[in-house]
Structure 1
Amino acid sequence: MGTQAVLCGYYGKGNGGDEALLASLLQLLPKTVTPLVLSGHPSQTRDRFGVDAIDRNNAISVVNALRQSQVFIWGGGSLIQDATSALSPLYYTGLMQLAQRMGLITIAWAQGIGPLHRPMTQWLAQQTFSRCTAVSVRDSRSAQWVSEWGIPFTLAPDPVWAMTGSPVQGLWDLPAPRVAVNLRVHPQLTPERLAALTQALILFQKATQACMLLVPFQRSQDLAIAEALQPQIPGSQVLMLEDPQQLKGLFRGVEMAIAMRFHGLIMAAASECRCFALSYDPKVSQLMNDLDLPGWELNHIPTDPNDICQTWLEHYVNGAPLSPDQIQFLVDRALIHAEVLEKAILQLGNSEVSGT
């Protein structure tokens, strides 16, 4: 009998980074496994990825899916954090604990853990992770949490490093050089800071004559900013790509990326593109640190648009992308997440053979 795995994450919610994590997980899942995705938009997930999907909020469907499955996978990203909401970790730990009580093999896969501000969330996370069959994390901050909890884990770069990109039609018809910009709504991106960045982008475009591609990663949080910027920046256009593999493919045709989104920076860096980070979250700051990327925390952005523009121009002219060897190393390391899946799922086969 084949193995069915329930894949649980922030899928079908219109976030390019989380869709990229799903694409990566499907790419790395052993071929013997049939995936069933819990999605916020099941029909879209079915159409985009060609897999079975059910509504993540339909309790009866979810319980039935768990009954018919042997494996439950928390599929990547910042699922266990209480910075944006206290309810989100309750949803994910609740589902994981249900799967554990029902006897499924449970895998916490490519997790970015934290921030965890509340003692209750920390306790819940520790309890849940400790009962997982396998745990893999994507950064040293997450590794520190599971290490403090005394839980065995595997540390490897985010799986999106290894996701295959696909070409974007018409991209190469746009004038070169091309620069990608990704901004998202955030309390620290105040109207004043956004105005300074906008002015700096106008100056930067004037100096480089670049075709500025405004690339939203999530319609609900990024698109309005992109659409507000577009009329102000000559030679700019909004590119809303829903397919995560096309999102990654886009950066192949871009000289430089100025991005807030964590996966925007990974996709750009993996495509030999110069990157400049605007960090709104510890995970972005950690990535800047790990890859030695230039950038600013949002609350440290210079107030003078000329200073911002000068810094960008300096990086545009003299900055270097990651070398092919560095990228290959990160891609190879990211593939370790596939080994974690294989080993844990192999345990299922062994236990079935031995009748336990």
Structure 2
Amino acid sequence: MRAVLCGYYGKGNGGDEALLATLLQMLPDHVTPIVLSGNPQETRDRYHVEACDRMGLFSVLQTLRKSDAFIWGGGSLMQDVTSAISPLYYGGLMTLAQKLGLKTIAWAQGIGPLKRNTTQELARQTFENCTAVSVRDRGSAALLSEWGIPCTLAPDPVWALEASPVLGLWDLPAPRVAVTLRSHPQLTATRLSNFTRALIDFQKATQTCILLVPFQQSQDLAIAEAIAPQLPGVYKILSLQDPKALKGLFRGVEMAIGMRLHSLIMAAAEGCRCFALSYDPKVSKLMAELDMPGWNLTEIPDEYHVIYNTLLEHYANGDSLTPDQIQSLVDQATIHRDLLHQILFAS
């Protein structure tokens, strides 16, 4: 069986690469994956799979015609906040796959936000015509229920991603704190400056090694490079391309301060204390579901010493998930794997 995997792959985003790595980990052995990628050669080299240029419409069409299944491979694909074109691209490919008679799976989706009536209707129709749907949060499940579309609800599959050790991590002084920030209009220069001042005082007080971890170089690296030289203690910018290593990084970290959804999932899965800075409803949903402390970006205190005291308090007294809680989430995340096996083994 040949299955086309479609997501925001090959675009340098650590979270989306982690979803791809997890999907490949969960696919049945008899399935040959063909990944639609923004960088097909890099995808071939990293995962040892077939890959096709996601924007080469003729080659994508040819690939679909030679395949048996089409899988939306996790994440917030059907949303129109970052781009109105995004749902047209993903919805168009899903509709085409359905018309060609492929088995179609919307896998581990986080649906929305959908602000436009046209994209809401496109999303409803494409999900309605899928062979099977799984979602990663209660809000998405509630929306599909509103539309009368059955789905499977389970935690984000990256909870179950296998982790790899990071070469040289244990040579860095302990304790270690990881920081994952991304550019965003709500992370204003003033807010970033206040956060940086708080982080400086936090490092002085804790003597921690600060790991600045860009999940997407194009959006995260400049912020990491701006903060790094201001830190008074030991730091390292860690740009890791392998999603399994990205998750493994958090095994050697005491606390994670993160904006990126999958940085928080990976950190929590590896037993870190987590503090979230939410720029998106998907991060806020995770905070609510795990009772994870943090702020929406618009709620970050104006006084840097309040930020500092809050981070210090969480570092000293905050809780990580228990091993039993982590195992429960990992076990539940494998429900996404069970759905793949059920549909892709069916005649």
Instruction: Normalising by structure 1, report the TM-score.
Output: 0.97
Residues 1:84 and 2:82 aligned together: yes
**1:261 paired residue number:** 260
Instruction: In structure 1, give the amino acid aligned to 2:55.
Output: N
Distance of 1:301 and 1:81 partners within structure 2 = 26
Structure 2: 5+ residue stretches without partners: none
Which among 102, 105, 126 is matched to residue 104 of structure 1? 102
**1:44 paired residue number:** 42
Instruction: In structure 2, give the amino acid aligned to 1:169.
Output: L
Counterpart secondary structure, 2:185: coil
Counterpart secondary structure, 2:127: helix
**1:213 paired residue number:** 211
Instruction: In structure 2, give the amino acid aligned to 1:75.
Output: G
**1:353 paired residue number:** none
TM superposition shift of 1:346: 2.3
TM superposition shift of 1:158: 0.2
Residues 1:171 and 2:169 aligned together: yes
TM superposition shift of 1:144: 1.2
Instruction: In structure 2, give the amino acid aligned to 1:318.
Output: N
**2:182 paired residue number:** 184
Q: Percent identity?
A: 68
TM superposition shift of 1:223: 0.4
Counterpart secondary structure, 1:5: strand
TM superposition shift of 1:236: 1.5
TM superposition shift of 1:320: 1.0
**1:308 paired residue number:** 307
TM superposition shift of 1:344: 1.1
TM superposition shift of 1:345: 1.2
- What pairs up with 1:52-67 in 2 under 5 angstroms? 52-67=50-65
Distance of 1:42 and 1:322 partners within structure 2 = 37
- What pairs up with 1:149-160 in 2 under 5 angstroms? 149-160=147-158
Distance of 1:60 and 1:281 partners within structure 2 = 34
Residues 195-249 of structure 1: per-residue CA shift (max 9 Å, x gap): 0000000000000010000000001000000011110112122100011110000
Distance of 2:306 and 2:250 partners within structure 1 = 26
Instruction: In structure 2, give the amino acid aligned to 1:311.
Output: T
TM superposition shift of 1:343: 1.1
Distance of 1:245 and 1:227 partners within structure 2 = 24
TM superposition shift of 1:24: 0.2
TM superposition shift of 1:330: 0.2
After TM superposition, the runs of 4+ consecutive aligned structure 1 residues lying more than 2 A away are none
Counterpart secondary structure, 1:110: strand
Q: Over aligned residue pairs, what C-alpha RMSD do you find?
A: 0.5
Distance of 2:62 and 2:30 partners within structure 1 = 21
Report how many aligned residue pairs link the two structures.
Answer: 346
Distance of 1:12 and 1:147 partners within structure 2 = 32
Counterpart secondary structure, 2:33: strand
Structure 1: 5+ residue stretches without partners: 351-356
Instruction: In structure 2, give the amino acid aligned to 1:34.
Output: T
Instruction: In structure 2, give the amino acid aligned to 1:72.
Output: F
